[in-house]
Amino acid sequence: MEKEKIESMLIDYIDGTLNDTERSIIEAEIAKSEEVRKLYNQLRKVLGAIDLSGKLEPGLRLRNSFEKALEEEIAKEKPTKTIFFQPTFYRAAAAVVLILSGVAIGVVVSNNLQRENEMAVLRKQIEDNKQMMLGMMDNQQSASQRIQGVNVALKIDRADNDVVRALAKRMNEDPNTNVRMAALDALSKFHQEPLVRKILIESLGQQKDPVVQIALIQLMVRMKEKGAVKDLEKIIDDNKSMEAVKDEAYTGILKLS
């Protein structure tokens, strides 16, 4: 087999693009020829370096640049000479890797700086929106503003501790039942979070708004929270509890037991 053909097949073999027949042929050549084995190992290192650069910059351009440089070096050699162990080939390959790696690294650094700037702007926007939401929830002059703030919290996918505590305060202390219910609704979305779960269970023992109490009991049942049974028993024993709340507590105990 012509050595140029072997070299071409070696590159395709390393790339994994040979069919089964061609792969068997080149594997046989590698097994029987020390020169082919040596070239295979050297090509694998060179192409491996190019592939690493290709993760930073489009791979097709790297491969085309490598092959172009390779063709130019081959053209400089006399037809009777082979490509095996020729320093010019490896210098060309190394030059391609170094140049393209430098370009790729420059692109990555530039992209990283742009990405960091974009992330900084995004983080500021998120923080500003959060502070606006917390401010709305803490508006003592307007129940509608507090509900709007709670509704904003309801739309977020993940609540941090500041938002959770603000919602808990609205649920437990707000003078308006609608605000309390909205806050409970928002918190229930995150009930799998340990802090939120703890807050919801504790609220059951201190909540005095009957509408919110019933909603909390129903939520405990949906959560399958057996730890709420003692608080439900206290609600039943409390003379100040409304009958509707006691009935819901009875039902909750039966479902959780």
191 burial class (0-12, 13-18, 19+ CB within 10 angstroms)?
Answer: middle
The answer to the question of residue 89 being in a domain is no
Q: How distant, in Å, are the alpha carbons of 104, 208, 234, 245, 248 from that of 239?
A: 75, 12, 10, 11, 15
Residue 126 has pLDDT above 80, yes or no: no
Q: Residue 51: which of 103, 17, 101 has the closest Cα? A: 101
The answer to the question of residue 101 being in a domain is no
Torsion of CA 125, 131, 134, 138, to 10 degrees: -140
The answer to the question of residue 100 being in a domain is no
- pLDDT on residue 139: 85
The residue from 14, 32, 50 where one domain ends is 50
The answer to the question of residue 10 being in a domain is yes
The answer to the question of residue 125 being in a domain is no
The residue from 32, 50, 68 where one domain ends is 50
Convert the pLDDT of each residue in 97-121 to its tens digit: 555 556 556 655 566 677 777 777 7
* CA–centroid distance for 104 within its chain: 24
Domain check: are 249 and 144 in the same one? yes
Domain check: are 137 and 232 in the same one? yes
pLDDT band per the 50, 70, 90 thresholds, residue 56: very low
- pLDDT on residue 210: 94
pLDDT band per the 50, 70, 90 thresholds, residue 220: very high
Across the range 210-217, mean pLDDT stands at: 95
Convert the pLDDT of each residue in 224-252 to its tens digit: 999 899 999 999 999 999 999 999 999 99
Convert the pLDDT of each residue in 162-210 to its tens digit: 989 999 999 999 999 999 999 999 999 999 899 999 999 999 989 989 9
Domain check: are 43 and 154 in the same one? no
Residue 149 has pLDDT above 60, yes or no: yes
The answer to the question of residue 220 being in a domain is yes
- pLDDT on residue 183: 94
The answer to the question of residue 83 being in a domain is no
The answer to the question of residue 99 being in a domain is no
Domain check: are 44 and 143 in the same one? no
pTM attached to this predicted model: 0.54
List the domain range (segments joined by +) for residue 8. 1-50
State both tokens at 58. Answer: 């489009």
Q: State how far the Cα of 173 lies from the Cα of 125, in Å rounded to an integer.
A: 29
> Could you give the number of structural domains in the chain?
2
Domain check: are 137 and 46 in the same one? no
Q: Are 163 and 151 in contact (CB under 8 A)?
A: no
Convert the pLDDT of each residue in 72-81 to its tens digit: 555 555 444 4
- Domain with residue 135: its CATH number is 1.25.10.10
Across the range 39-68, mean pLDDT stands at: 55
**What is the end-to-end Cα distance of the chain in Å, rounded?**
81
Across the range 85-96, mean pLDDT stands at: 53
